[in-house]
Structure 1
Amino acid sequence: MVYLLYISVVMKMHNLHKISDEELVNLLTKDNQKAFTEIYNRYALNLADFAISKLNQVEDAQDIIHDLFIKLWEGRRSLIITANLKTYLFTLVRYKVIDKIRHNITRREYASTAQRIADYFDHGTNQQLEVRELNLLLQNSLKEMPPRVQQIYQLSRHQHHSVAEIAKSLNISTQTVKNQLSKALKHLKKSIGNVIIIIAILINNSL
């Protein structure tokens, strides 16, 4: 009887594409790498398509799926899925997409604010001086950050290097690059708020 049970388990291990999601999750919690691979093969492409459809950025979508499956494997032993596996994975991707959109909005806010400064102070010597003062405010904000964060930010925003290119040139992981860029953007967001207030004051004074 025990031998037959063993044979049944072995057969399932070699035919994972035929077993249910629930059984795959059960195997995954027991450190079964083949079960993890089967889950990846079963859902990764559809999850990536979903992320791409929301972000319109292939690289960002790939990063989301990559991070999701890394965390799925790392947290396998404590994995608790109350719904079905498909719903669970798509829900995780949905939240990650929302976080990425928020992150991208921060970037757009920075670019939009910089353009508003340039548009408003486009004429006149005094206005140009004020533009330089506002740019100095942003530069000073950058200088408040650690040197490595400044370097990564400059490579990304001013030299337009990709995350992968920065990671390779600095010999660090892509995740480290992302973390440092996130720190830089959070810090600059405070400065952006100050700049918007300054613009409002200057506009009101000119009326």
Structure 2
Amino acid sequence: MKLDGTYTDHQLLELLKGQSRAAFTEIYNRYWAVLASFATKLLEDEDEAVDIVQDVFTNIWNASETLDITSSIKSYLYVSVRNRIISKIRHSKVKGFYLDSLSEIYEKGEFVTDEQVRFRELSQQVEMEVSKLPTKMREVFELSRKQGMSHSQIAQELGIADDTVKKQIHKAIKVLRMKLNSLLFSLF
């Protein structure tokens, strides 16, 4: 059925509630161009404006059986377009804020990844376990691993044999490996 353009908005709305494609087409033809112009003026972006108007008409068709419009269809359409534009602008501002924040964090180098968190946790656990080693063993281990001293340098500084240094480091690694195995499994 083709409508001749003599129907009022109220009549078209009643026909639309009955899912009349002709009524929808008449409403669309009557208001699409003015709504697109209205949206373009507010958004200053014709493509986004057209998308918003299309979405409003799509939603009207999809909800046509349950539409409860108490004002005129024209007012309803303008308010719907305006509300979508406001929502779009808000979303853009929030998105911009978060992008700016992420950019700032990245520039300052303040980002933290899961790997960095796991590395920190593992480092803390290793430090705690090293602190539990017997005093002499801990001292030898720390000189070797933290200060990068060779076995002979450690032996000379502590006044012990090279073999003793090697044994202490070997024992320390063995103890730490046993204590940290379960932690490594849970982290990775």
Compute the TM-score of the two structures, normalised by the length of structure 1.
0.50
Note the 1:100-179 alignment, pairs <5 A: 100-114=88-102, 116-117=104-105, 121=108, 131=109, 133-134=110-111, 136=112
- 2:56 aligned partner: 68
- 8 Å Cα contact 1:16-1:35 kept in structure 2: no
Q: Give runs of ≥4 in structure 1 deviating > 6 Å.
A: none
Question: Once the 2 structures are TM-superposed, how far is the Cα of residue 118 of structure 1 from its aligned partner?
Answer: 6.8
> Identity percentage over the alignment?
36
Q: Hey, what's the Cα distance between the residues in 2 that align with 1:33 and 1:92?
A: 20
Larger radius of gyration between Structure 1 and Structure 2: 2
2:14 is the counterpart of 1:39:
no
Q: Hey, what's the Cα distance between the residues in 1 that align with 2:94 and 2:53?
A: 22
2:28 is the counterpart of 1:58:
no
For these two proteins, the number of residue pairs brought into alignment is 116
2:80 to 88, 92, 99: 92
Give the structure with the larger helix fraction: 1
Q: Hey, what's the Cα distance between the residues in 1 that align with 2:7 and 2:47?
A: 32
Q: CA RMSD in A?
A: 2.5
Q: What SS is found at the alignment partner of 2:5? A: helix
Q: Which amino acid aligns with 1:42?
A: R
Q: Which runs of 5+ in 1 are unaligned?
A: 1-12, 122-130, 141-207
Q: What SS is found at the alignment partner of 2:71? A: coil
Compute the TM-score of the two structures, normalised by the length of structure 2.
0.54
- 8 Å Cα contact 1:16-1:24 kept in structure 2: no
- 1:29 aligned partner: 17
Q: Which amino acid aligns with 2:97?
A: E
Q: Which runs of 5+ in 2 are unaligned?
A: 117-188
Q: Hey, what's the Cα distance between the residues in 2 that align with 1:15 and 1:102?
A: 39
- 8 Å Cα contact 1:28-1:36 kept in structure 2: yes
